[in-house]
Amino acid sequence: MTEGGKLIIFSAPSGSGKTTIVKHLLDQPELNLAFSISATSRPRRGKEKNGVNYYFMSVSQFKRHIKDGDFLEWEEVYRDNFYGTLKSEVERLWAEGKNVIFDIDVSGGLRIKRKFPDKTLAVFVKPPSVDELKIRLKKRSTESDDKINMRIAKASVELATAPQFDEIIKNYDLDIALDEAHKLVADFVGAQIPQKED
């Protein structure tokens, strides 16, 4: 892979607020960020679009990409439910002169950090508690109770990996978490945060 800009990873248990934080950072022009779209073999939900939310592919297509070594990282999150980062996606964004931001699961995030230790900032977003996580996932009403319980079980395992990340943001108060994330990323990419008008 050709070297390019910086890599910024946000990982967290489902429902911790990492996607909200990543969207906020993408709206800050001085950070020069572009979002890495993951590939997945899971079916689309709601109004999701191919090439916008994810690159949707069949299980067999996904497995072919694994065999061909096309992924920077990939994981079978649940049975036949694959997620991964295509090398071509990161190269495409680097070619545009961008720093690449990821919203990916814990093991994928740590794999990228290991591959590019010097140019990666890996941030773990910590929810207030596992109970709060359960409330947030239920509020979404996108998944069955069984799925939610699977996510909660996975969250306990993921929380144990937090110390392996460069930084941990505790998302108890969203505004504070957004500010903290903005400062961390600005420092890492060497950007000046514009002063807020009073």
11 is in an annotated binding site: no
12 is in an annotated binding site: yes
**What one-character-per-residue DSSP string does the chain give?**
----S-EEEEE-STTSSHHHHHHHHHT-GGG-EEE-PPEE-SPP-TT--BTTTBEE--HHHHHHHHHTT-EEEEEEEETTEEEEEEHHHHHHHHHTTPEEEEE--HHHHHHHHHHSTTTEEEEEEEPS-HHHHHHHHHHH--S-HHHHHHHHHHHHHHHTTGGGSSEEEETTSHHHHHHHHHHHHHHHHT-PPPPPP-
**Among positive and negative, which fits the CA dihedral 179, 7, 115, 75?**
positive
Strands 120-126 and 81-86: unpaired
17 is in an annotated binding site: yes
126 is in an annotated binding site: no
14 is in an annotated binding site: yes
Binding positions: 12-19
Mark the binding-site residues for ATP, compressed into ranges. 12-19
